[in-house]
Amino acid sequence: MRNGASDLPRPPGHGDPRPRERPLVTLPEEDLRWLDHATLLGRRGWGRVHPNPMVGCVLVRDGRVLAEGWHREFGGPHAELGALERSIEDPAGATAYVSLEPCRHQGKTPACTDALIHAGIGRVVYSVADPNKQAAGGGAALRAVRTAVSGPVWPASVGRRENPVFFHRQASGRPFVAAKLALSLDGRIAEAPGLRTTVTGPEALREAHRLRAGFEAVMIGSVTARVDDPRLTVREGGVTPRVPPTRIVLDTKASLSEAGAIFRETEGRVIVFVGESADRAKVARLEKAGAEVRQVRQGPHGLDLSAVLDAASARGIHSILCEGGGRLTGSFLAAGLVDRLYLFQSPRVLGSGGVPAFPGPLAEGFWTEWRAAFDPERLGEDVLTVYEREG
């Protein structure tokens, strides 16, 4: 390895892992490069480790890599344990670079702090503090036994960027919601209302499927279900999700066709949220087709989205990728319920007759609350930009 570059293939993600924020501590550039590398290693756990965070670790002595590790599977060894197990020589005295504070909690696996101490690691450098109160405190535990520790190097915002769902769960009881839209250069998502339109290319499609693998549920509205007839499964992107995402449809009147593609797939359960006034015969028809149908309260313009999220949380769903089209996405945005935006932009122009990506009115100054979380990523002819709320 040289200058932090691994012979492992580059993992999927959103480009350069170096944060834009100012470090909390002053470190040599070499240390920062190794932390960057640990972050890239951690991203390999996408779709396999949730609800745990993605974490990477690299063991280094005198500029040489002794081992690399990352959390590969929920319930399996954490990054530090994996690296220690793979070390090409006794790691005593080496430096461990970790993308999240080593855990102090013994759960499905031993506490990483204990493993580092028992291995005689001489120094630990970690990117961000662990927000989980059960597992936090690894840095202090290491210092208590006179292990040299540098960390947290970056503020919590960096951790939220890399592991948004994990950090969100420590602070909020509602599911983390990310919205994904594929739009044209002129901000349209279809050529005309009711017309299924392929806006982006195959590279963007693969990335969209990879995104699905990292969420516990994928959500659409009844209009998207009728027009696009999607399966909402993960079929591309190089990641097989540990647990296939639940497929959610918001269908106020229970009008979804039981002949839809979503019912022909057996990968992932189907939940249909309907309004309190939905026809019982239609509800029974959807249940017979294999859906779990749940009634939630209605608002003036359809289902109460907060009630939908509460009901999803009660069913063990803590992260949702909304692919529901402009109207549903706009409703979530207007309600302040979107935590992240994935915008895939095509160079195509669909014209004034096209369906706008954001059809509903948003509060004045709404977009000033958002910023690009990562540098834009080119996917063939398309560009993916990931946005998150400020603060």
Residue 35 has φ and ψ, to the nearest 5°, of: -65, -40
CA distance 310 to 295: 12
In sequence order, which residues have a C-beta less than 8 Å from that of residue 300 and are 6 or more positions away? Answer: none
Measure Cα distances from 164 to 145, 257, 346 in Å.
32, 34, 26
CA geometry: angle 30, 31, 37, nearest 5 deg: 90
Q: Are 373 and 385 in contact (CB under 8 A)?
A: no
Instruction: Check if 267 is active-site.
Output: no
Those residues whose C-beta lies under 8 Å from the C-beta of residue 364, and which sit 6 or more positions away, are: none
Helix (H, G, I), strand (E, B), or coil: what is residue 66?
A: strand
| Six-digit token string for 23 | 């470090």
The catalytic position among 21, 30, 80, 388 is: 80
The C-alpha torsion from 222 through 226 and 228 to 233, rounded to 10°, is 60
Active-site residues: which are they? 80
